[in-house]
Amino acid sequence: MSLTLDGVPPLSPSHRSPELLLAPTFQAGDWRSLGLDCPFVFRSGGRLGMTMVGWDGEGYQSGLAWFDGARWSEPEVILRRDPASAHRRHNTALTSLARDTELLGQGELVQIDGWYYGTYHAYPDAGYEAGSALIGFVRSRDLLAWEETGGFLRPEEGGTWERGGLYKSWLMRHEDRWWLFYNAKDKAEGSWIEQTGAAVSDDLLTWERVSDKPLLPVGPPGSYDERFASDPCVLRAPDGTWVMFYFGLAPGRGAVDLVATSPDLLTWTRDPEPLLAPGPAGSVDDWHAHKPSVIRDGDRLLHVYCAVRRLAEPVTVGERTVSEHRGIGLAWSEVTR
């Protein structure tokens, strides 16, 4: 990676844990039996916490874990699928909570009138990301019991680039407005592309897209994000520069984490080189190292991500055959100031 920012430690991690922080159970019927995905790290009352999404074959549900200084707790489900809901019958993928957006800050969650606010996406049908997902909003007083709030961001209301469905989003407060960054796919069959855009709101009810085109489109042929420019994590450097951590995917390559910068949240310049690429064969991330979530922890800048490795031999879980091991990985760089 070639990007450098004044007063900021290297964004590209120089260390990587050989072990996963959290892993799938491969136990039929468990909410994370087949994989863990989409980590989101934060602090609440000084405690380091993380939400993540579990996959069980029917759809996604969302969990919460805490770090005690040595290890992460076993995650508990905090946002389940809802059989009574038209859009959450099979899936509820909680992907971000409103938090301090300073890159070198503590990542403390924002409370408004005693409420924490979060965003999720939900696919309407059973199966792996089946149907065109929408984005919804939830709130909680204790991070355990959640209720829906606000409106929805729907793919059919956006530009042609997002008509195939909406994916992982990043919710944040900036200048007394809500900002929502998200990636979405077009309606091409098989080889769709994913790109990243944004919407703004004053009340979580009514959302206005800031452009009918993606703010971070896919890169040129041969780039690491030729097909996907996805899963934004948006933080602000000490000099005021906005930094978007995201992942890229290109034909014939595993997914990698990348970075782009902006002076105004609207115009983004990408760095062409990866922040984090898949590891060597047999490592926890030998296929994909992607979906970044970044937070400072003392003298380290943590880069928490979804690590995927290919299994040498497929595993049978219930009625499913699994050929990958998908969990939560950790890399970091040193903070010297």
Q: Give the side-chain half-sphere CA count within 13 A for 324.
A: 15
pLDDT of residue 337: 61
pLDDT of residue 66: 98
51/56 Cα distance (integer angstroms): 16
Pairing relationship of beta strands 147-153 and 165-174 according to DSSP bridges: unpaired
pLDDT of residue 187: 87
pLDDT of residue 1: 57
Residue 328 near residue 1 (C-beta atoms within 8 A)? no
* Direct distance between the N- and C-terminal alpha carbons of the chain, in angstroms, rounded to an integer: 21
Q: What is the distance, to the nearest Å, from the Cα of residue 160 to the centroid of all Cα atoms in its chain?
A: 23
The amino acid sitting at 55 is W
The amino acid sitting at 47 is R
191/60 Cα distance (integer angstroms): 23
At residue 157, the 3 state secondary structure works out as: helix
Residue 28 near residue 334 (C-beta atoms within 8 A)? no
Domains of the chain: 15-334 (2.115.10.20)
Cα dihedral 66, 295, 11, 310 in deg (nearest 10): 30
Query: Which ranges of the chain have pLDDT less than 50?
Result: none
CA Rg, the chain, in Å? 18
136/148 Cα distance (integer angstroms): 8
Q: Give strand ranges (E) for the chain.
A: 15-16, 35-44, 47-55, 60-66, 76-79, 93-97, 116-122, 134-140, 147-153, 165-174, 177-185, 194-201, 208-209, 228-236, 242-249, 256-262, 269-270, 288-297, 300-317, 320-334
Stated length of the chain: 337
Note every long-range contact of 30-34, with CB atoms under 8 Å and residues 24 or more positions apart, other chains counting. Answer: 30/54, 30/56, 31/56, 31/61, 31/63, 31/77, 31/80, 32/56, 32/63, 32/75, 33/57, 33/317, 33/318, 34/317, 34/320, 34/322, 34/326
